[in-house]
């Protein structure tokens, strides 16, 4: 081998070694990130408790309706126990149970058939307010539908005061303490208990008898019923709570079963929600 062949051979060896004759292993691919399990979002929370609704029909000639009673929730399941007022097709004393589901898109509650009538309420609960629609299928009220608005009625417990005025414009006053249950009865009402003191010669003090719709003392929507057992008869008050949250209740009263039977109007003041 002459000198030129030796130089070429050595050059080939050096070139081969400089290029890394043995290939390097390819870098490992990064390990995939662990997958995060999908989490089902929690359903929106309804303000459970006592509610009053007003329904405005889009059907000409149909009067506005009211729905009053309790609203409850367990997870995504919602339920209601309501009474319908203002309708010739529903007896207001009849309890209507509704069930449904709460989703991020809204809540829908549907009743079992009542004399062939099925009531559906659909809309959104936002804090202490509700806005949506109602629809009635079947029976006497078939085809009724329209807008529906409602609000959560605050607990009226703590202080009681007020003035009673009879037909002869004679007045007497009351002060006392009341307590309202936060748990609804099976009829959708909320028990009221308490004591009352009067400034009339007929009776000086009384006990507010607890009860559930339709007897005793209770709250149903904005309807306030008080039955006060006194030493000289039973004082019964039927009133409506002012929805502007001032705590004012206006209504009528009777006194029966004693020596001072009487009747007239009354304006009572119960504790405002801002008082506690």
| Domain containing residue 271: CATH number | 2.40.128.120
Final residue before a domain boundary, out of 109, 128, 152? 152
| Predicted confidence band of residue 43 (pLDDT cuts 50, 70, 90) | confident
Q: Does residue 55 carry a pLDDT above 60?
A: yes
User: Do 60 and 89 sit in the same domain of this protein?
Assistant: yes
130 beta partners: 125, 150
Residue 18, helix vs strand vs coil: helix
Q: What pLDDT is stored for residue 35 in this prediction?
A: 61
How many domains are there within the chain? Answer: 2
The answer as to whether 43 is a domain residue is no
pLDDT at 57 over 60: yes
In a domain, 164, yes or no: yes
192 token code pair: 């009221």
Name the burial class of residue 114, with classes exposed (0-12), middle (13-18) and buried (19+) by CB atoms within 10 angstroms of its CB. Answer: buried
Pair (210, 103) in one structural domain: no
pLDDT digits (tens, 9 = 90+) for 180-236: 999 999 999 999 999 999 999 999 999 999 999 999 999 999 999 999 999 999 999
Could you tell me if 191 and 206 lie in one domain?
yes
Q: What is the mean pLDDT of the chain?
A: 88
Confidence of residue 2 (pLDDT cuts 50, 70, 90): low
Asked if residue 24 belongs to a domain, the reply is no
Domain extent, residue 137, equals 49-152
């Amino acid at each position: 081998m002459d000198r030129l062949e030796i130089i070429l051979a050595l050059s080939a060896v050096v070139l081969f070694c400089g290029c890394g004759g043995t290939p390097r292993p390819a870098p490992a691919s990064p390990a995939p990130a662990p997958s995060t399990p999908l989490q089902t979002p929690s359903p929106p929370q309804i303000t459970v408790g006592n509610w009053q609704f007003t329904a405005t029909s889009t059907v000409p000639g149909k009067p506005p309706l009211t729905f009053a009673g309790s609203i409850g929730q367990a997870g995504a399941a919602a339920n209601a126990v309501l009474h319908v007022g203002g309708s010739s097709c529903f007896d207001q004393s009849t309890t209507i149970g509704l069930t449904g589901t709460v989703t991020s898109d809204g809540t829908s509650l549907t009743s079992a058939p009542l004399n062939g009538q099925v009531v559906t309420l659909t809309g959104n609960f936002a804090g202490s307010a509700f806005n949506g629609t109602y629809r009635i299928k079947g029976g006497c009220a078939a085809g009724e539908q329209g807008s529906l608005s409602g609000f959560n009625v605050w607990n009226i417990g703590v202080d009681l005061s007020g003035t009673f005025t009879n037909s002869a414009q004679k007045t007497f006053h009351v002060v006392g303490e009341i307590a309202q249950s936060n748990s609804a009865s099976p009829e959708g009402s909320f028990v009221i208990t308490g004591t009352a003191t009067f400034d009339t010669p007929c009776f000086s003090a009384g006990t507010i008898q607890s009860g559930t719709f339709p007897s005793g003392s209770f709250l149903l929507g904005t309807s306030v019923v008080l039955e006060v057992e006194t030493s000289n008869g039973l004082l019964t008050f039927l009133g409506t709570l002012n929805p502007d949250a001032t705590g004012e209740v206006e209504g009528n009263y009777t006194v029966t079963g004693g020596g001072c039977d009487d009747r007239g109007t009354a304006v009572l003041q119960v504790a405002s929600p801002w008082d506690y």
